[in-house]
Amino acid sequence: PMHDDYDLRQEQLNKASLLSSKKFLENLLEKFNSHVEYGTGALVISSLLDFLTFALCAPYSETTEGQQFDMLLEMVASNGRTLFKLFQHPSMAIVKGAGLVMKAIIEEGDKEIATKMQELALSEGALPRHLHTAMFT
């Protein structure tokens, strides 16, 4: 909830409605992936990262239905390399959003997903990038 006077049931209904269509989510992730791939649409990327944060990341994920949560988590995890590309983005808000989504994937996904993300982190050089950002920005 982004404000003090929210209706928890309405939030759950809204999420259930938005996350009910797999085709809709596939289209959103396709747009997300294409913008990341071409280095365009920073506002679109930021908005879609917010969408994923409110669906997958604690404490907001508590109002996401379990089946929809698992489906979206697997869909996002299948595009793990795209998330790692965002760690190179000039906007720190996008880097932070990608980190939150990545954290949710690793913590909430099964062992195979976590292992895949660890392998991608090594192959994409995530640690040196984060260390460089932490030390020099």
Instruction: Name the 3-class secondary structure at 21.
Output: coil
Output the DSSP codes for 34-95. HHHHHT--HHHHHHHHHHHHHHHSTTGGGGS-HHHHHHHHHHHHTTHHHHHHGGG-S-HHHH
pTM, to two decimals = 0.85
pLDDT in tens, the chain (137 residues): 566 777 888 889 999 999 999 999 999 999 999 999 999 999 999 999 999 999 999 988 988 999 999 999 999 999 888 998 998 899 999 999 999 999 999 999 899 988 888 888 877 777 777 777 778 87
